Structure 1
Amino acid sequence: MINRFLNIFLIIVLLAVASGCIEDGFTDDSSARPEFSVDTLNLGLAFSGEITSVHSFRVYNRHDRNLLISRIALRDGNEAYRLNVDGVAGKEFADVAIRPHDSIYVFVDAQFPPVGHDGKLTVKSLLDFEVNGGRSTVVLSAECIDVTVVPASVLSADALWSGAYHVMGDVTVASGVTLNLAEGTTLYFHDKASLNVEGAVVADGTPEKPVVMCGDRNGTMVGRIPYDIVPGQWSGVTFAGTGSRLSHTVVRNTSSGIAVTGGEISMLNCVVRNSRESVISVTDAEVKAVGCEFADAPGGVVTLDGRARLTMNHCTVANSYLFAPVTGALLELKDDGVSCHITNSIIYGNGPMMNTKSPDSGDITLRRCLVGADGSDDDTFIDMIWNSDPMFITDTDRYIFDYRVGPGSPAEGAADASLTLPEAVRDFYGRERGSTSDLGAYQH
């Protein structure tokens, strides 16, 4: 009996102590306000008619007493945005309490109506939090764009695409068919989607309006890493036919980059970057690349195999890959039968400069190129700039990968004008190279 009374007594004491530690009162201070983890919640790029990914922010009570938010609601009542406050979905919320020095989460996604014109439309709404007669606000913002949804399909007739496209599966351009991509066209590829070209693709990008092929995710992933630089978001592009021509075309965020498995392709002022494998691989095919950037891959940035034939003029082959150990060279030449001729270019970055079975084959030449490796000129390497840093204006700590050269770079004005091909007169940005042009893809 005594033990029973002792147990009851202890329970009463514990309850009294616990209740004494809890402040049930709400602050009525008119200056008390919640604090937020963001001033503006940016949902990034949103495709009209499609539900965005979920974004979130935190609402903090920095005070010593409970904070009662009497009302949470969108000021304009925008029906496109959808809210979830502290685990409860709805459009408007009343009497939401936050304990002292605690916080709650607000989750937001959206489904926007069609924009009704080419280009992007910024859609903003104000999410108000009313406390003790005062109001605090978080801005919700998104860039909305109309897209044409493309399912997995085979293009069996010539087509012209212009505008924005959301590619949801594997799209094949059949043999004998040409897909034309007008300037400014953007193809957003969903996870594992691909473009397989058995016929031809002609991309007519310009410095002002490049053609872009990229993943369909936006914003940032873990930490501050933008999805713009994250590889593996979609499969990539395979060329197996003849007649493909890419001008001012950007291809990024792929698993396997551009794979040329037959025929031939020409590339002028293109940017191909961020692949889980090679950025561009050529097998038993021919590629001519002028003014192009090939950058950032772990297994060899440029890979040649079989009877591959590659000509590069005023190109930049660079590697600052962050997402896995770099195991391949900037140039991976995997077969004795490959042909590789590179002029007025830069080859620099993580990994060896070149892996090849037969550097003395006679069909591999690098002429007037800047490289990071030590070496000396011979029949393969001619008029080289050895063991030099091109001073790219990259900043990997801030996830900026800009392979233009900075002031004072040894690549400035170092090109051999006699080697510059006529089509290389301007770079990706439209800058004229002139008579004293820089090495690499870009003119400073």
Structure 2
Amino acid sequence: MRYFISFIICIAFISISSCNRKDFNTVLSSGKLQFSKDTVYLDTVFTNIGSATYNLKVYNRGSNAITIPNIKLENGTNSNYRLNVDGIPGKEFTNIDILEKDSIFIFIETTINAGNIIDPLYTDKILFDTGDTQQNVDLVTLVQDANFIFPGKNAITMKVDSLTLDGQPTTLKGRFLTDTELTFTNAKPTVIYGFAAVPANKTLTIEAGSRVHFHNNSGLIVDNKASLKVNGTLTEKVIFEGDRLEHSFSETAGQWGTIWMRAGSLDNEMNHTIIKNGIIGVLVDSIGTPSTPTLKLKNTEIYNHSSYGILGRETNIEAHNVVIGNAGQASLAATIGGTYNFTHSTFANFWNSSLRQLPAVLVNNFFSYTDDTGQEIIETRNLQAANFTNCIFDGNNNIEFVLDKVDAGGLFNYNVSNSMIQFTDTNDSYKDNTEMDFTSSFYQNVILNGKSHFRDTQMNDFIIGEESDAINKAKATIFSTDILEVDRSATPDIGAYQHITFEVEK
């Protein structure tokens, strides 16, 4: 929508400017136009989904005002491209004037049905003039077919359906998946509009190499008694991301909602999975703290979310070889108690798009709310376990690991071993917090403020190099290979990756 609005504003501005031009004499174009680019690449689009708006600038470098007799698409009215030339929409234009030493804009969009074309690389040309003075600019778009999941609509009012959860209506636009939709394959990407929900007593299986794209305000819900199985491999990872395929959106956070594992969902598993560019990567709820993990994560990368990488609420998460990178708040927020066991994981938050107030990893045992009288009420839950083994906690804040306990007589069990923690308490904010006493028996072989030596923090590339203080400092576990399946049985490094030698740019 914002592209459409920008498009209209640009057109209105150009139209107003054109109306203010004075009469002037012109000569015919002589084939000496210059262009801001000789090919306009409209990034990959999904079938039947409109592209962003692209622009081409056409220059008259000469000393006389000119008239271009004809501007048109080579494929004419059958073209899947749409043009707007100097404020006028269409596919063919006549007698377009450009003042001397001046220029005009051409805006380009497309919507293509993959079923109507033979070659997924769709091309056309913008032709300027005819005959010996003709010039052209190429247009290129890659069209990708996909399986689309849309919310239902009321046949009479055409109002988009909202989900009903636990028997109560919600404001979430979406629907439950049917039995025929409970397997996502790598044959085509899956594009989800609204929230697609896995029904109770059903399992959504996502096969290796699958790509799942979410539209704005969309996501995936695993309902009570439902399960999610994501079966990626090292060579065929499963990727969850937004549906904007333009390169400029490849690292843009907040494009979609979340993968929400609701209270009562069970046996959720993710392996060799990449989750990027949402608001919350994974939101995990539970009813009480289940004795078995609500979510098992392994060999998984969660990057670039505008709020949280993982937000757990009184739940049970078991993870190894996990990388949770940049997020607008916390990479991992393990809240309201629960059970959390992370081994050989890297929590690295170098978010720089806004002020981040939370550490990379936050663990607490409470939640708060305001009652009917306006009084704030704080309730606590048991932290059954928060165990971190061979983990890196790093980022661009002074403090990147916090245990935040409210004393209420409940359990608050934690243990951190053979890990590296960024913790510089310049204001002594935690000097009276016994949970942050790194000399206590709850911390073993911890490196404070060591050098991680990540390859590229802004690109969420958290492989460690030869200068890392994490090298050979981990203890042996049953997880004998790293996230890339590199052997670590002899000399394990802290974090999800074994170190490598970085190539020197020439």
Band of TM-score, shorter chain: 0.7 to 0.9
1:369 corresponds in structure 2 to: 419
Q: Distance in 1 between matches of 2:239 and 2:332?
A: 20
Find 1:161's aligned residue among 184, 201, 215. 184
Aligned partner letter, 1:54: T
Q: Distance in 2 between matches of 1:138 and 1:275?
A: 38
Shift of 1:103: 2.0
Change (3 A) 1:313 1:116: farther
Does residue 280 in structure 1 map to residue 310 in structure 2?
yes
Q: Normalized against structure 1, the TM-score is what?
A: 0.83
Show the 5 A alignment for 1:414-433.
Answer: 414-416=473-475, 418-419=476-477, 421-422=478-479, 425-427=481-483, 429-433=484-488
Aligned partner letter, 1:404: I
Aligned partner letter, 2:177: L
Q: Deviations over 1:405-427 (max 9, x none)?
A: 234322344433x13x33x5242
Change (3 A) 1:28 1:173: closer
Find 1:242's aligned residue among 254, 257, 266. 266
Q: Distance in 1 between matches of 2:485 and 2:75?
A: 43
1:35 corresponds in structure 2 to: 35
2:495 corresponds in structure 1 to: 440
Cα pair 1:34 1:136 within 8 Å, conserved: no
Does residue 267 in structure 1 map to residue 317 in structure 2?
no
Find 1:300's aligned residue among 326, 330, 342. 330
Change (3 A) 1:52 1:381: same
Cα pair 1:155 1:177 within 8 Å, conserved: no
Does residue 354 in structure 1 map to residue 401 in structure 2?
yes
Cα pair 1:35 1:61 within 8 Å, conserved: no
Segment drifting more, 402-411 vs 301-310: 402-411
Change (3 A) 1:155 1:131: closer
Shift of 1:349: 0.3
Shift of 1:303: 0.7
Aligned partner letter, 1:440: G
Q: Deviations over 1:193-238 (max 9, x none)?
A: 1211021110111222211111112326xxxxx3222222111011
Q: Distance in 2 between matches of 1:394 and 1:216?
A: 25
Q: Distance in 1 between matches of 2:124 and 2:415?
A: 58
1:317 corresponds in structure 2 to: 347
1:403 corresponds in structure 2 to: 462
Q: What are structure 2's unaligned runs of at least 5 residues?
A: 1-20, 151-173, 367-381, 425-436, 501-506
Cα pair 2:350 2:457 within 8 Å, conserved: no
Segment drifting more, 58-67 vs 242-251: 58-67
Aligned partner letter, 2:364: K
Q: Distance in 2 between matches of 1:71 and 1:116?
A: 28
Change (3 A) 1:202 1:66: same
Change (3 A) 1:26 1:431: farther
1:111 corresponds in structure 2 to: 111
Q: Distance in 2 between matches of 1:431 and 1:402?
A: 17
Q: 3-state DSSP class of the match of 1:297?
A: coil
1:84 corresponds in structure 2 to: 84
Q: Distance in 2 between matches of 1:383 and 1:359?
A: 26
Q: Distance in 2 between matches of 1:377 and 1:170?
A: 46
Does residue 330 in structure 1 map to residue 360 in structure 2?
yes
Cα pair 1:377 1:384 within 8 Å, conserved: no
Cα pair 1:157 1:178 within 8 Å, conserved: no
Q: Distance in 2 between matches of 1:29 and 1:128?
A: 14
1:53 corresponds in structure 2 to: 52
Does residue 176 in structure 1 map to residue 232 in structure 2?
no
Aligned partner letter, 1:347: F
Shift of 1:318: 1.0
Shift of 1:290: 1.2
Q: 3-state DSSP class of the match of 1:279?
A: strand
Find 1:341's aligned residue among 387, 401, 421. 387
Q: 3-state DSSP class of the match of 1:133?
A: helix
Q: What are structure 1's unaligned runs of at least 5 residues?
A: 1-18, 221-225
1:201 corresponds in structure 2 to: 228
Cα pair 1:232 1:275 within 8 Å, conserved: yes
Q: Normalized against structure 2, the TM-score is what?
A: 0.74
Cα pair 1:33 1:131 within 8 Å, conserved: no
1:101 corresponds in structure 2 to: 101
Change (3 A) 1:42 1:389: farther
Q: Distance in 2 between matches of 1:115 and 1:380?
A: 61
Find 2:441's aligned residue among 374, 379, 396. 379
Shift of 1:156: 5.5
The number of equivalent residue pairs is: 410
Aligned partner letter, 1:91: K
Q: Distance in 2 between matches of 1:115 and 1:438?
A: 50
2:166 corresponds in structure 1 to: none
Q: 3-state DSSP class of the match of 1:292?
A: strand
Change (3 A) 1:143 1:378: farther
Q: Deviations over 1:268-294 (max 9, x none)?
A: 111112222221011121111111111
Change (3 A) 1:353 1:60: same
Q: Deviations over 1:321-355 (max 9, x none)?
A: 12221000111112173321112221110332222
2:376 corresponds in structure 1 to: none
1:389 corresponds in structure 2 to: 451
Change (3 A) 1:139 1:320: farther
* Pairwise CA RMSD: 2.9
Aligned partner letter, 1:79: S
Shift of 1:96: 2.1
Cα pair 2:62 2:101 within 8 Å, conserved: yes
